[in-house]
Amino acid sequence: MSIQYKTISQLREMIDAKSISSQELVKETLKLAESLKELNCFVTMNKDEGIKKAIEVDGTNTSNSLLKGIPLAQKDLFCTEGLRTTCSSKILADFVPPYTATAVEKLENAGSITIGKTNMDEFAMGSSNETSFFGNVHNPWKKGYVPGGSSGGSAAAVAAGIIPAATGTDTGGSIRQPAAHCGITGIKPTYGRVSRWGMIAFASSLDQAGPLARSAEDCAILLNEMSGYDPKDTTCLNVENTNLLQSINQPIKGLKIGIVKEFNLGDLKAEVQIRFEESKKIYESLGAEFVEISLPSISASVPTYYSIAPAECSSNLSRFDGVRFGYRAKDTDDLNDLYIKSRSEGFGDEVKRRILIGTYALSAGYYDAYYKKAQQVRRLIKNDFEVAFRSIDLIMTPTSPGTAFAFGSKGVQNPVELYLEDLFTISSNLAGLPAISIPHGKVNGLPVGLQLIGNFLKEDLLLNAAHIFQQNSEFHLERPSMEEF
């Protein structure tokens, strides 16, 4: 029996019916991953330890977690004790952390099995997975096309049906955009919902971990386990964890959904507009109402983000200095030379670019005009959302302006071109709001995503709205042919 493309619920049934053991499942998954190696989804496999853990899990009857025995993959920026963690960077190519990230620990405590670490944009900086030291990841829907980024390896591995779900992180769209480009579901929770302990930081005030899966329901299963208070992360919220599966089937009649006037959807490609309009109709048929809303400062999102994120990253990445861990250049004259050579040889171009921009934005004379100004505008953006959510329940946008594109076709001459990929996604990071991307059809044979943004801590409503949509459509069930791989 093939395990490819199975959801968590399907695998759960198979395990519970004893038609497959966790050990067999993990071995099959590893075999599948090996046969689809060309996709380049994984940086490191956790073969021996994964199988060992599966045998252990098979031998225990105590846990009744939905994730017991289920194979998952972790984005390679979650620290995993004893298992190499690279951030897809040369500078961490040999780094084996002495501890495990809280989010991963929670998933593993629920009985899931980490089968490997997924490829990503270097230090999560990118929207196409083309900045990885370990090479591009192919989009399972079309060879030579990007899977999106930065959680591209996770998205491709789920879309190719190797694993039912994987972790990702989202700083400006890094879960939602690859989910959209790969035709799967991904949710970025409220900032503070999932502990950042052990998640290698890109931009501390924007980073948030979340799941990518084949359905909203599976996302809910993972998020239920991943989220929760963690005193080790003082930006982690101390709020009660609601069971996200409980309300997932609730009817959405009367749901008020906002359409953002300022996004000028009329400027998008006709096919993208058509998909969007059709999804609106589906929601209307389910009893939702659409309202036009205004987010007056929303056009500032991209410049705000590209001031704040690089500033925080320039500081966060200072610890990669070749002294206590990570790559150290050979033959250096003195300490400064060691820093400069190790960092220059260890980081890729996009990471360097962002460190330089951030250093500039924070430097004397520019701080007020760039960094502080951006944080002020950030408040304007957050205020806009606050006002909007007084009269609506959710906001709906396309996840991305277009579809996946060919390797090397965007941002090569001008990085800003690629930055505009994040137009619809980054405002929710700036405001700390939860947002989900669900597949809603294809344009020119490539999947496109629909984004729903919720108010603070409204993951339950987001998943509910996404699930009801998926109960009434079949976009999320479509699979790539995989003939090219």
Residues 333 to 362 in contact with other proteins, rule: CB under 8 A: 333-341, 343-344, 347, 349, 352-353, 355-357, 359-362
Given the residues 6, 27, 75, 410, select the one marked as catalytic.
75
Residue from 143, 256, 269, 372 in contact with other proteins (CB under 8 A): 372
Residue type, 46: N
- Kindly state the DSSP code that residue 482 receives in the 8-state scheme: -
State yes or no: residue 231 binds other proteins (CB under 8 A).
yes
Cβ distance to other proteins smaller for residue 81 or 271 = 81
CA distance 460 to 214: 18
Q: Provide the minimum distance between the beta carbon of 332 and other proteins in the complex, in angstroms, as a whole number.
A: 6
Beta carbon of residue 187, minimum distance to other proteins (angstroms, whole number): 17
x/- track of binding to other proteins for residues 32-71 (CB under 8 A) = ----------------------------------------
Q: Can you tell me which residue has the tokens 């990570």?
A: 326
Stretch that binds other proteins, among 33-41, 50-58, 286-294, 307-315 (CB under 8 A): 307-315
If DSSP states are collapsed to H, E and C, what string results for 143-179? CCECCCCCCHHHHHHHHCCCCCEEEEEECCCCCHHHH
CB of 144 to other proteins, least distance (A): 25
Question: Is 247 marked active-site?
Answer: no
Q: Report the C-alpha gap between 107 and 92 in whole angstroms.
A: 24
In which element (H, E) is residue 42 found?
A: strand 42-45
Closer CB to other proteins, residue 117 or residue 196?
A: 196
Q: Inter-axis angle of helices 22-35 and 47-58, to 10 degrees?
A: 160
Minimum distance from residue 105 beta carbon to other proteins (Å) = 12
Q: Which amino acid is at 307?
A: S
Q: Which is nearer to other proteins, 54 or 457 (CB)?
A: 457
What is the amino acid identity at position 285?
S
Report which residue type is found at 115: I
For residue 17, the minimal CB distance to other proteins (Å) is 39
Give the residue from 42, 37, 26 showing the smallest Cα distance to 113: 26
Cβ proximity of 211 and 437 under 8 Å? no
Range 200-229, binding other proteins (CB under 8 A)? 200-201, 203-205
| 241 near other proteins (CB under 8 A) | no
- Give residues 283-302 in contact with other proteins (rule: CB under 8 A): 297, 299-300, 302
- The piece of 38-46, 75-83, 216-224, 281-289 that touches other proteins (CB under 8 A) is 75-83
User: Mutual orientation of helices 373-388 and 301-316 as an angle, nearest 10°?
Assistant: 130
Among 409, 416, 477, 484, binds other proteins (CB under 8 A): 416
150 is catalytic: yes
Our CB check for other proteins shows the closer of 172 and 322 to be 322
Q: What string of H, E and C letters represents the secondary structure of 196-211? A: CCCECCCCCCCCEEEE
Q: Residue 334 CB, nearest distance to other proteins (Å)?
A: 5
**Does 191 participate in binding other proteins (rule CB under 8 A)?**
yes
Alpha carbon of residue 285 to chain centroid: 30
Q: Does 106 bind other proteins (CB under 8 A)?
A: no
**115-154 burial by CB neighbour count: b if 16+ within 10 A, else e?**
bbbbbbbbbbbbbbbbbbbbebbbbbbbeebbbbbbbbbb
Element (H, E) at 359: helix 349-362
> Residues 416-425, buried b or exposed e (16+ Cβ, 10 A)?
eebbebbbbb
Using the minimum distance from each CB to other proteins, give the nearer residue, 85 or 437: 85
Q: Of 457, 453, 473, give the one whose Cα is nearest residue 194.
A: 457
Give the Cα separation of 439 and 423 in Å (integer): 18
Comparison of 55 and 323: residue with beta carbon closer to other proteins: 323
CA of 279: how far to CAs of 272, 284, 434, in Å? 11, 9, 20
To other proteins, the closest distance from the beta carbon of 41 in angstroms equals 22
CB of 43 to other proteins, least distance (A): 15
Q: Which of 399, 387, 385 is nearest to 172 (CA)?
A: 399
- Specify whether 256 is catalytic: no
Instruction: Pick between residue 95 and residue 290 the one whose CB is nearest to other proteins.
Output: 95
Q: Which of 1, 38, 33, 40 is nearest to 17 (CA)?
A: 1
Task: List the structure tokens of 73.
Answer: 């993959």
Residues 256-285 contacting other proteins, CB under 8 A: none
DSSP tally for the chain: helices H, then strands E: 15, 11
Catalytic residue among 127, 150, 227, 427: 150
Q: Which stretch binds other proteins (CB under 8 A): 10-18, 213-221, 260-268, 410-418?
A: 410-418
Among 7, 174, 307, 455, binds other proteins (CB under 8 A): 307
Question: Could you tell me the smallest distance in angstroms from the CB atom of residue 250 to other proteins?
Answer: 27
Rg (CA), the chain: 21
**Helix (H, G, I), strand (E, B), or coil: what is residue 15?**
helix
Taking the least distance from each CB to other proteins, the nearer of 85 and 470 is: 85
Site size toward other proteins, by CB under 8 A = 101
Binding pattern for the stretch 431-470 against other proteins, x by CB under 8 A and - elsewhere: xxx-------------------------------------
Question: Which residue out of 22, 127, 174, 342 is catalytically annotated?
Answer: 174
Active site positions, annotated: 75, 150, 174
